[in-house]
Amino acid sequence: MNIDLHTHLLPGVDDGSPDMEESLRILERMKAGGAERVYLTPHLYSPRTPTDIGAIKESWRKHSAPLNSSGVEVLLGSEVFLRPEALTGEVITMGETDVLLVELPTSARPHYLIEAIEVLQKRGFRIVLAHVERYGFLFKKSLLPFSRSKLEDEVYRLKDMGVLFQVNWDSLKDGRTGLLLEKRMVETIGSDKHHNRDGRGVIDFSSESASQFINDYYL
């Protein structure tokens, strides 16, 4: 099944789509690209984009039926920023499964990374790490821009812990995902599409680059 695991198309709850019309227009383009299922993953616990879980649920109650009339199956999830509040707080899993999409700060390695993932795993969640290619601290330094020459040991540790990796569709073009793909570390892909003006593409599921991901075996 062709799945876009990571989008911000739940209207009016975060820095994503502002309204239904825009979400429907984007879903139409996603459908034309071959998407069969799209997860809405509004930010939760993000320091940069604060959101309200009650407002997210309310928007979902209001919009799930019309969004699903687009001809694409649309399910609710969230993108949980890994910080202390998220470890004990309420979260929204992907389509009511035990799968949780988790994002990390990009600026510096969180010193609690492994421990925090373990806490979430102990709560019963299977973790998908969002846009892994963005976290420079998981790659050994290289002099070439965007070149990722070696993976830090922590990447292997995360894989040993059963953490699934998601990369962004647009990152397939700039080389940041190369090493992760070469080493077969990546299970899934998402557009991380926010709105019409974000300049991000929708996934072309008929392309060779999209066909290397097994998007649905864990969902």
Give the nearest distance from C-beta 85 to Fe ion in angstroms.
Answer: 18
Q: Does 133 bind Fe ion (CB under 5 A)?
A: no
Nearer Cβ to Fe ion, position 6 or 63?
6
Which residue, 118 or 196, is less far from Fe ion as judged by CB? 196
Q: Which is nearer to Fe ion, 48 or 111 (CB)?
A: 48
Q: By three-state DSSP, how is residue 69 classified?
A: coil
| 79 is a site residue for Fe ion (CB under 5 A) | yes
Of the pair 118, 134, the CB lying nearest Fe ion is at: 134
Segment 53 to 72, residues that bind Fe ion, using CB under 5 A: none
User: CA-based Rg of the chain, rounded to a whole angstrom?
Assistant: 17
Q: Which two tokens stand for residue 86?
A: 């998220």
**What distance in Å separates the CA atoms of residue 87 and residue 117, rounded to the nearest whole number?**
9
Are 79 and 130 a contacting pair, CB within 8 Å? yes
Q: Nearest approach, Cβ of 6 to Fe ion (angstroms)?
A: 6
Figure out which of the listed residues 192, 202, 213, 215 binds Fe ion, where binding follows CB under 5 A: 192
Q: Rounded to an integer, what distance in angstroms lies between the CA atom of residue 113 and that of residue 122?
A: 14
CA angle 129, 50, 106 (to 5 degrees): 40
Residue 180 is inside which H or E element, if any? helix 178-182
Q: Which of the ranges 11-19, 23-31, 74-82, 204-212 carries the binding residues for Fe ion, by CB under 5 A? A: 74-82
Q: How far is the CB of 132 from Fe ion (least distance, A)?
A: 13
